[in-house]
């Protein structure tokens, strides 16, 4: 009996839907268990049951040899289980210290001893080599730093089993490296770690044991040393992954031309600084960069969501500058937005309504201002079939779809406009491998049809897979444009961090 945690035959039913079907996992002290699976495979449900946020329909949780029942997160925390949520649970106005100690504040007669708290946080941070500034306001911290706050919070609560839910989804490549190191270090210190993710290379690097879920069932439990990425992917998706369609060499005319685009910032530094970029027909131009270097603003400037200070944007012969979003979209622009909840969908609206956005104006779907729902529904059903979007019905609330499925719906909608030009911003953020394959395939297909695509992604692998040319953005400028065959992850990383080419070569040699 060496397991610190066993979950035996866990099942969870939502109505008729079986989200977890007799799933069993086990975990030893100091072990890293990765639970991988596509969106909706039941990873999150399983962890919510472990953390007391959901009650299992059947099954038992055995902790250190004793059967336990959690009625809420409070119980889980008491029993040494901590969870780092995918969407951070932070109080952005509170200091780092306050965020870490909350719930177990050091106190004297009911008064909050903030000084002692800061001390404790400092000690903890040094002990686990997780670097934070205890006095900073959490909202001012970078995403990576915020995640470190979350991990320290869990450690502070005395967790021996730490659940990390999709921890790398929001991190830059360097931050991911650091996180993986932290995970290994924590495991060496005797903490048991459950890592939930669908990024297989990370799993291979850090996990000891891997459990694969598909459609609520366990499809595989393997030791990391006995497996590889391909095998895991097959277990996850349930079929072999296909190779992307070959790209046809196309030498198209310039399509989207951005010239000297400038947007001033709050401070002296402009957000976009005299940026020029041309995208040709039949070409995918990828923008690589650490987020916050002007990528979002560039997209918003092109789509008309944000005012520009100077410069111009053309699409073919159409001048975009000063025109409305609707005008630009009519002229041949489609846009997969980076934040699907903010720009891409209305959470409270039905799936059908989210699909309808932008189409209601079109002749085919609009008869003297009445929407022709019937012909439209046919179109949406077509998308649902083609992209295998999992939704109970067309009337389901968009917000109830899993992130990946909603993303597929948005991608289908934007591709459905059949425009000459597409902006794909983070098209596969939070999307599982199967869905990613569909989306990538669709983008390549659009390119092969002779349309132009601007791809913005924080995933370097995605940029490298899809782009014909890669533009690296740093502090509002395009610092370099590399061709597909000359770009490597290392070169891009250095450029993204603001280094130049010469430094790049020296840096790679020193780190190698």
Residues in contact with other proteins by CB under 8 A are 44, 48, 53, 72-77, 83, 85-87, 89-94, 98, 102-103, 105, 107, 110-112, 165, 341
**Which CB atom, from 232 or from 410, has the smaller least distance to other proteins?**
410
Position of tokens 């976009």? 272
**Which CB atom, from 102 or from 497, has the smaller least distance to other proteins?**
102
**Which CB atom, from 48 or from 447, has the smaller least distance to other proteins?**
48
**Which CB atom, from 160 or from 437, has the smaller least distance to other proteins?**
160
**Which CB atom, from 8 or from 85, has the smaller least distance to other proteins?**
85
Instruction: State the Cα–Cα distance between residues 149 and 131, nearest whole angstrom.
Output: 9
3-state secondary structure of 298: helix
DSSP state of 247: P
Instruction: State the Cα–Cα distance between residues 415 and 446, nearest whole angstrom.
Output: 8
**Which CB atom, from 147 or from 419, has the smaller least distance to other proteins?**
147
Structure tokens at 447: 């390119």
**Min dist. Cβ of residue 95 to other proteins (A):** 11
Handedness of CA 165, 150, 186, 180 (dihedral sign): positive
CA dihedral 304, 307, 313, 317 (to 10 degrees): 60
Handedness of CA 323, 296, 140, 87 (dihedral sign): positive
What are the strands, taking DSSP E only, across 341-397? 366-367, 370-371
**Which CB atom, from 41 or from 308, has the smaller least distance to other proteins?**
41
**Min dist. Cβ of residue 229 to other proteins (A):** 28
**Min dist. Cβ of residue 74 to other proteins (A):** 3
**Min dist. Cβ of residue 72 to other proteins (A):** 6
**Min dist. Cβ of residue 346 to other proteins (A):** 14
Containing H/E element for 341?
none
**Which CB atom, from 9 or from 93, has the smaller least distance to other proteins?**
93
**Min dist. Cβ of residue 112 to other proteins (A):** 5
Containing H/E element for 252?
none
Cβ contacts of 174-177, under 8 Å, gap ≥ 24? 174/493, 174/497, 175/143, 175/144, 175/147, 176/202
**Min dist. Cβ of residue 338 to other proteins (A):** 15
**Min dist. Cβ of residue 280 to other proteins (A):** 38
**Which CB atom, from 95 or from 467, has the smaller least distance to other proteins?**
95
**Which CB atom, from 347 or from 507, has the smaller least distance to other proteins?**
347
**Min dist. Cβ of residue 107 to other proteins (A):** 5
Measure the CA angle with vertex 508, ends 506 and 510; round to 5°.
Answer: 70
Instruction: Judge whether 435 and 38 are in contact, CB under 8 Å.
Output: yes
Handedness of CA 156, 157, 161, 164 (dihedral sign): negative
**Min dist. Cβ of residue 81 to other proteins (A):** 11
**Min dist. Cβ of residue 73 to other proteins (A):** 4
Residues 6+ apart with CB under 8 A from 512: none
**Min dist. Cβ of residue 53 to other proteins (A):** 7
**Which CB atom, from 71 or from 510, has the smaller least distance to other proteins?**
71
What secondary structure does DSSP assign to 180-245, as a single string? HHHHHHHHHTT-EEEEEES-HHHHHHH-SEEEEEETTEEEEEEEGGG--HHHHHHHHHSSPPPPPP
Burial class of residue 488 in the structure, from the number of CB atoms within 10 Å of its CB (0-12 exposed, 13-18 middle, 19+ buried): middle
Cβ contacts of 214-218, under 8 Å, gap ≥ 24? 214/37, 214/38, 214/41, 214/238, 215/21, 215/40, 215/41, 215/42, 216/18, 216/19, 216/20, 216/21, 216/23, 216/41, 216/42, 216/45, 217/21, 217/22, 217/23, 217/42, 218/23, 218/24, 218/25
Q: Please count the residues of the chain.
A: 512
**Which CB atom, from 87 or from 363, has the smaller least distance to other proteins?**
87
């Amino acid at each position: 009996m060496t397991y610190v945690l066993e979950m035996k035959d866990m099942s969870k039913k939502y109505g008729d839907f079986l989200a977890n079907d007799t799933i069993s996992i086990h975990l030893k002290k100091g072990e890293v268990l990765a639970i991988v699976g596509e969106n909706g495979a039941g990873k999150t449900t399983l962890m919510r049951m472990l953390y007391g946020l959901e009650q299992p329909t059947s099954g038992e949780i055995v902790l250190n040899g004793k059967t336990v029942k959690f009625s809420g997160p409070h119980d889980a925390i008491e029993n040494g289980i901590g969870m780092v949520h995918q969407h951070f649970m932070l109080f952005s106005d509170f200091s780092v210290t306050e965020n870490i100690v909350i719930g177990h504040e050091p106190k004297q007669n009911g008064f909050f001893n903030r000084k002692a708290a800061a001390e404790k946080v400092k000690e903890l941070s040094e002990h686990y080599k997780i670097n934070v500034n205890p006095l900073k306001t959490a909202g001012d911290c970078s995403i990576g730093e915020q995640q470190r706050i979350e991990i320290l919070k869990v450690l502070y609560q005395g967790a021996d089993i730490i659940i990390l839910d999709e921890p790398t989804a929001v991190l830059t490549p360097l931050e991911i490296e650091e996180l993986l190191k932290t995970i290994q270090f924590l495991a060496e210190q005797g903490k048991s770690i459950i890592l939930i993710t669908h990024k297989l290379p990370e799993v291979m690097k850090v996990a000891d044991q891997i459990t694969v879920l598909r459609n609520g069932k366990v499809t595989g439990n393997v030791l990391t040393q006995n497996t590889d990425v391909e095998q895991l992917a097959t277990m996850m998706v349930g079929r072999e992954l296909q190779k992307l369609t070959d790209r046809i060499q196309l030498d198209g005319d310039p399509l989207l031309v951005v010239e000297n685009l400038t947007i001033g910032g709050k401070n002296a530094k402009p957000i976009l600084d005299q940026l020029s970029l041309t995208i040709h027909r039949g070409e995918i131009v990828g923008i690589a960069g650490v987020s916050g270097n002007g990528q979002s603003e560039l997209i918003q400037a092109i789509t008309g969501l944000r005012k520009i200070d100077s410069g111009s944007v053309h699409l073919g012969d159409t001048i975009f500058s000063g025109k409305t979003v609707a005008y630009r979209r009519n002229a041949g622009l489609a846009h997969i937005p980076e934040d699907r909840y903010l720009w891409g969908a209305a959470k409270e609206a039905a799936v059908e309504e989210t699909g309808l956005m932008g189409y209601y104006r079109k002749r085919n779907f609009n008869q003297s201002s009445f929407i022709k729902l019937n012909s439209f529904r046919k179109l949406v059903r077509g998308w649902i079939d083609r992209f295998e979007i999992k939704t109970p019905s067309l009337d389901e609330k968009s917000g109830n779809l899993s992130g990946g499925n909603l993303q597929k719906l948005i991608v289908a909608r934007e591709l459905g406009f059949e425009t000459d030009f597409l902006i794909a911003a983070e098209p596969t953020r939070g999307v599982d491998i199967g869905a990613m394959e569909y989306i990538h395939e669709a983008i390549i297909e659009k390119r092969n049809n002779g349309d132009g695509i601007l791809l913005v992604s924080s995933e370097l692998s995605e940029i490298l897979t899809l782009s014909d040319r890669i533009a690296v953005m740093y502090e509002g400028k395009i610092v370099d444009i590399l061709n597909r065959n000359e770009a490597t992850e290392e070169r891009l990383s250095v450029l993204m961090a603001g280094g130049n080419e010469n430094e790049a070569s020296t840096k790679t040699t020193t780190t190698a």
